Structure 1
Amino acid sequence: MGIRIGISCAVLAGCAQTMPPAPAPAVAMPAGWAPGETAYGSQGLDPAWWNRFGSAELARLVRQGQASNLELAAALSRVRQAEAQARIAGVALLPTVDFGGGADRELLIGSGSSGMSASAQLQVAYEVDFWGKNKAGVAAAAAALDANREDRQTVALTVTSAIVSTYLQVLSLRDRLEAARAHVANAEHVLVLVKAQKSAGSASPLDLARQRSVVAGQKAAIPDLQQQAREAQSALAILLGRAPQSFKVGDQGLETIDLPDVTAGLPSDLLARRPDIRRAEANLAEADANVAVARAALFPNIRLTGALGAQSSALLSLLNAPNLLANVSASVLVPIFDAGRLKTERDLAIARKQELVQVYRAAVIGALAEVGIVLGQIRSLDEQSRLKKVELEETRLAFDLSEIRYKVGAEDLMTVLDTQRALADVQNELGILKLKRLQATVSLFKALGGGWHADAPAGAVVTAK
């Protein structure tokens, strides 16, 4: 029996070839995004991209968040679960060994002598993986582990981006608070002028009431900005896994932050390291392995078992050679009729793989769209900021001139109020644009799966057209 099985193994081994995993499906790249001749080397990657903003405090907060964020901790636990599942799947490639033993004692009620017998058996079983089912199961578990690891990378990238973006928001709100207080001081300065003009008889009580209204309105904007700053700081504390009550950001504004340069061309290979795309690839590999598992289930299962045991009428002579027993056997289980269950499971696995092919393509197209939108935002915000700075210069000049003319009685108060309000609005809008521009850069880092070095290897480029 053992010889015949061995010959069968040699014959069937040729059928045991598992299908190699299918490569990731190709996606047509738009103009300016064609893949380069060489992969984007590791020397071009910048994993600590947040350092490009030039803030030691930001770098420290990112490190704290990566160590203490609760969502990241949960994602790490999921990775550990997947690692355990992968180890469980690998057990199927190894034989199982069981040991059993027992002892019996006979007590005679009448005359005669009592007796004792004992037995022990070592059972070894191994499933011959002719069709690659077990190996494919291990490959599926390994791909699932890769997918979970990429999930954690997605969470890490999302959390890090949120920490950087929220930190920038806190600093921006501080700048806006400082600007609001400056507007109050400016309005109070004008109020002093109006009071002097009224004392001289050249300003009316209406003018005085209007300027007092402006001062009150400027002061009323401060509490709302303070509340927004508290909320942003609390959100940052939560991202760091800390209680908001005991957390405080250092006293500085966006003037301490560097604006990272966006190079004219970025390698399109950067998209391939996005964790969501890598996860889609891992899911596709898992589905491909599951198809192999379902296909192999249609073929016979061949199981080899062996046993080495002993039994004796005397416990102390249990392991004597004359009492040792050995048994080797092989069994074949061939599915004949299962109402189509195995074939349906194979069809289900194939359909699932076809679904994930489309999911992968959608992930790539979504990444292209996301990067394109962010690059467009950066271009638009740069142009808006340039024009807004010109507007700020002209608005400040208009306010200064209106104040001088009001002092000499050549201009009425309404003109001063209009230019004062315009100056405050433009300064506030410019501060918001500065924050949006910095956050757009954070979004670009996130959309490309991390940072890059300006001297990255040449190849395909992503341009903002």
Structure 2
Amino acid sequence: MLKAIFIVLILGLLSACSVTIKDFPAPVTLPAKFSASGQAKQSDRWWLAFNDTALNQLCGQALSDNFSLLAAFNRFEQARAIAKRSGAELIPQVNGGLLGSQASAQSQRNNDLVLGLAASYELDLWGRIRSAVNAAKLDANAAEEDVFSAAISLTAEIATTWYRLIEQRQQLKLLDQQIEINRNNVTLVTVRFRGAQATAADVFQQQQLLESVIGSRYTVVSNIAVLENQLAVLVGKSPRVITLPIVEEFPAVPPLPDTGLSLDLMQRRPDLRKAYFSVQAADQRIASAIADRFPKLSLSASVEANSPDLQSLLNNWLATVAGNLVLPIIDGRRRVAEVERNRAVSAEAFNNYAALLLNVVKEVENALVQERQQRLLVANLERQVQLSTQASSMIRLRYINGAMDFLRVLSAVLSQQSLERNLLQARQQLIEYRINLYRALAGKFPLRDVSATKNRHREPVS
């Protein structure tokens, strides 16, 4: 009898419908190539291209200790566990039980032992269960891609914050130099005022310029502290606990990477892969909802032994095999509505995938054109600073010789100092545009450090 039950269950497994996962073509027409491309091959760990030891250390520490990234791993594990739970429905469920009882009367005492095994299984005739399992597995794949997207976003945010910090440190150094120059100018104008060669208004204007630069310094000092705190949190540390290296120079912008074909991004970018898995999962849920409208066939088997003592328990047993067919007849169109809902969800996932594809191409093209124009702007500002410095020196010299009024000197100094600050901002922005390009082209990279620590339990700091 047990052999017959086993054969029935195996036949049930073999009779289940196989469900295939569909492939979907690109929903939009993409350009074959991007508007610009270089020769350098982009590394998976794209930040290494800057050859910046401090940045490499920050990114490595963040990939190991950043709590948001660890949380993304936890979400992936949840999705993977759900997929395992869904797959359990494809396996027959077997439960066992042992019951012992004793009844006493005035003249006699009865012992009774009952041992039972029960198995149940739903034949997946129309692929309802398998479609749901496939959808859960695809959800897990999408959650895994979310981890890689989070890693790319994290490293890009660290690089952007790091170079903004360097820019602010450069601004602080420049402001200190400008403060010293303006103090010297205040001394110069004051001496000329005492000699009746300048007016009181000239002194007040130069003092106001000095105070303006000092005020800008306060803002920069605040910005430096905020950026340092932000970096500390990004690498999984509390502000003022981590010691950041002192770097005050930008690295050279690496050569332009090979942008490749636009279709390559569909296989490389984790967010696109996630969107594609979401489309496939939604399609599988449509199939599961449709199959739920068809009859369900379930098999059950049980074996029960009953005896007054353990020794003879297996000599007295009863086996039962049963089948159960359930056919939906009237459900208020609930199952039809569920199919319609899943079709709408699938359409939404498909349209989201299409929109993301267009945005990805836009991100790459934006980064390319912004970097190209920013290079021209940096070169232009460098020429302006050079010309302004020469003009300021000549105007100051002529003022000392009494051939020019102080307003021209003040205007020249203000213009020069403003251009010097703008040049630093432009150089930082150029690096940021390159980071945007790397991020737009980035694919997933190994996350062994995070994998080793994703289940780590941390003790709260007292």
**TM-score normalised by length of structure 1:** 0.86
Q: Which residue of 2 aligns with 1:459?
A: none
| 1:200-230 deviations in Å (ceiling 9; x for gaps) | 5533444333333332322222111111111
Change (3 A) 1:24 1:78: farther
User: Compared with structure 1, are the counterparts of its residues 44 and 395 closer, same or farther at alpha carbon in structure 2 (3 Å cutoff)?
Assistant: closer
CA contact 2:121–2:298 (8 Å) conserved in 1: yes
2:390 corresponds, among 381, 386, 397, to 397
* 1:50/1:101 CA distance change after superposition, 3 Å: same
> 2:373 matched to 1:380?
yes
Amino acid at match of 2:335: L
User: Match for residue 443 of structure 1?
Assistant: 436
Asked if the contact 2:72–2:146 (Cα under 8 Å) also holds between the matched residues in 1, the reply is: yes
Matches within 5 A, 1:42-81: 46-81=43-78
Kindly indicate whether the alpha-carbon contact (under 8 Å) linking 1:46 and 1:450 is maintained by their aligned counterparts in 2. Answer: no
- Corresponding residue of 1:358: 351
SS in 2 for 1:316: coil
Instruction: Count how many residue pairs are aligned between Structure 1 and Structure 2.
Output: 436
- The DSSP-based 3-state class of the residue aligned with 1:245 is coil
| Local SS of the residue matching 1:71 | helix
- SS of the equivalent of 2:48 reads helix
Q: Secondary structure at the match of 2:306?
A: strand
1:261 paired with 2:258, answer: no
**What is the alpha-carbon distance in structure 2 between the residues aligned to residue 199 and residue 83 of structure 1?**
81
Unaligned 5+ residue runs, structure 2? 446-462
- In the TM superposition, residue 416 of structure 1 has moved relative to its aligned partner by 1.6
RMSD: 2.7
Report what 2:154 is aligned to: 159
Tell me the distance in 1 between the aligned counterparts of 2:49 and 2:10.
64
The whole-number CA distance in structure 2 between the counterparts of 1:266 and 1:417 is 51
Listed as ranges, the matches of 1:46-445 within 5 Å are 46-109=43-106, 112-198=107-193, 200-255=195-250, 257-263=251-257, 265-272=259-266, 273-319=268-314, 321=315, 323-445=316-438
Going from structure 1 to structure 2, the CA distance change for 1:25 and 1:354 (only over 3 Å counts) comes to: farther
Q: Report the alpha carbon displacement of residue 360 of structure 1 after superposing the two structures with TM.
A: 0.9
User: Given the superposition, is the C-alpha separation of residues 87 and 263 from structure 1 closer, same or farther in structure 2, using an over 3 Å criterion?
Assistant: closer
Pick closer, same or farther for the CA change 1:45–1:373 going to 2, 3 Å. closer
Instruction: Give me the whole-angstrom Cα distance separating, in 2, the residues matched to 1:92 and 1:290.
Output: 16
Please tell me whether the aligned partners of residues 22 and 288 of structure 1 are also in contact (alpha carbons under 8 angstroms): no
Deviations 1:102-154 (A, max 9, x none): 12323223xx4322221111112222222222221111110110111122222
Q: Which runs of 4+ in 1 moved over 4 A?
A: 5-10, 198-201
**1:457 — aligned with what?**
none
Is the CA contact 2:42–2:257 (under 8 Å) kept in the aligned structure 1?
no
The whole-number CA distance in structure 2 between the counterparts of 1:115 and 1:99 is 24
Distance change >3 Å, CA 25–CA 335, structure 1 → 2 = farther
Residue 290 of structure 1, CA deviation: 0.7
Unaligned runs of 5+ in 1: 35-42, 453-465
Percent of residue pairs bearing the same amino acid type: 25
Q: State the Cα distance separating 1:31 from its structure 2 match.
A: 6.2
**Shift in Å at residue 392 of structure 1?**
0.9
Counterpart position of 1:23: 24
Structure 2 residue identity aligned to 1:76: F
Amino acid at match of 1:82: A
C-alpha contact (below 8 Å) 1:168/1:254 kept by paired residues: no
Worse-superposed segment, 307-316 or 420-429: 307-316
Q: Which amino acid aligns with 2:202?
A: D
Q: Which moved more, 1:124-133 or 1:285-294?
A: 124-133
Go from structure 1 to structure 2 and tell me whether the alpha carbon gap of 1:328 and 1:7 turns closer, same or farther (over 3 Å shift): closer
Distance 1:48 1:401 in 2: 49
SS at match of 2:320: strand
CA distance in 1, matches of 2:159, 2:66: 14
User: In the alignment, is the contact (CA less than 8 A) between 2:48 and 2:56 conserved in 1?
Assistant: yes
Change (3 A) 1:30 1:311: same
What amino acid sits opposite 2:236 in the alignment?
Answer: G
Q: Following TM superposition, by how much is the alpha carbon of 1:193 offset from its aligned partner in structure 2, in angstroms?
A: 3.2
From the superposition, tell whether residues 289 and 45 of structure 1 become closer, same or farther in structure 2 (CA, over 3 Å): farther
What TM-score, normalized by structure 2, do the two folds share?
Answer: 0.87
Cα distance in structure 2, aligned partners of 1:436 and 1:293: 50
